[in-house]
Amino acid sequence: MEWLERNVPKLVLAPSFVAIMVFVYGFIAWTAWISLTRSRLMPRYELDGFSQYERLFAAPRWDVAMNNLFIFGGLFIVISMAIGLFLAIFLDQKIRAEGVLRTIYLYPMALSLIVTGTAWKWILNPGLGIQEAIRGWGWESFTFDWLIRPEMAIYTIVLAAVWQASGFVMALFLAGLRSVDTEIIRAAQVDGIPTHRIYSAIIIPTMAPIFLSAFIVLAHLAIKAFDLVIALTGGGPGYATDLPATYMYAMAFSRGDLGQAASSAMVMMGVIFAIVVPYLYSELRPRNDK
């Protein structure tokens, strides 16, 4: 009875502990194992070295997917951060109706990426969407048909993703701006330092940790991007807008190529590790020092 009393906290955590060990770490190990076999439609467990990874890196479609990830991820992160920062600074200027504007900027975050993709697919539809609307206003030669052009379609995904996430970055930055010590800012104002200098020299540098958080969240969203591609372009035209996540899904569920699916998932995992582990390490260290 006393033993039970003493160990209640551990017993409460036990189911979660087992679940995390099996369903996160155990499953990662399982996928890693499969990625080293010749599994096709069904999993096989005889190890076969790194042949799946060799196939993966030789596959033109994977090449496209990784290239797209860098284009999409890079632009998505940079543009979302830029828009987020500017909107936050603008909103920080004692704006009337700030609450309403903030709500408007942020609501896309509440939507499913499938909904976002569906909406933008309709807006970007060259036959009936924005292109047609602007031609209707008299600009007959206006062309905006990125959605159906293989080399441009990836940028439509950037557009929709930025629309979805930039408001959230704005909220993060706004919270950051508001947490900067007002005494320092007031002192700078008294000294007659112009507002843009106060931002660039005092406020923004103190927000470095928030930039890092925003970067981690956005990078993480970019690598996991799947729903948006499915809903907006379906990976097409052809496989021009494939990302690692859609490649993995295609291999696992429509191509019956489990080995390829597993190895591509492991590469995605590696990319996330490379970004998140140093971050978590730096986040958790000071807590442990206490």
> Within positions 192 to 211, which residues make up the interface with other proteins, using CB under 8 A?
209-210
Site string for other proteins, 45-74 (x = CB under 8 A): ------------------------------
d(CA 113, CA 167): 15
Any long-range contacts for 211-216 (C-beta under 8 Å, 24+ apart)?
A: 211/81, 212/279, 213/172, 214/80, 214/81, 214/84, 214/169, 214/172, 214/173, 215/77, 215/81, 216/275, 216/276, 216/279
Q: How large is the C-alpha radius of gyration of the chain?
A: 24
- Whether the Cβ atoms of residue 258 and residue 40 lie closer than 8 Å to each other: yes
Beta carbon nearer to other proteins, 203 or 210: 210
Give the list of residues 6+ apart from residue 209 with CB closer than 8 angstroms, or none: none
Between 168 and 203, CB nearer to other proteins:
168
| Minimal distance, residue 171 CB to other proteins, in Å | 5
Should residue 240 be labelled a site residue for other proteins when binding is judged by CB under 8 A?
A: no
**Rama region for 10: left / alpha / beta (φ>0; ψ in -120 to 50; rest):** alpha
231 binds other proteins, rule: CB under 8 A:
yes
**Residue 189 in the binding site for other proteins (CB under 8 A):** no
Query: Which one among 2, 3, 15, 46 touches other proteins, defined by CB under 8 A?
Result: 15
For the record, the structure tokens of 141 come out as 């030669």
Q: What are phi and psi of 181, to 5 degrees?
A: -55, 115
Min separation Cβ 217 and other proteins, Å: 5
Per rule CB under 8 A, count of chain residues that contact other proteins: 99
Residues 105-164 that bind other proteins (CB under 8 A): 105-116, 118-123, 128-130, 132-133, 136-137, 163
Least Cβ distance, residue 146 to other proteins (angstroms): 16
Task: Rule CB under 8 A: say whether 269 interacts with other proteins.
Answer: yes
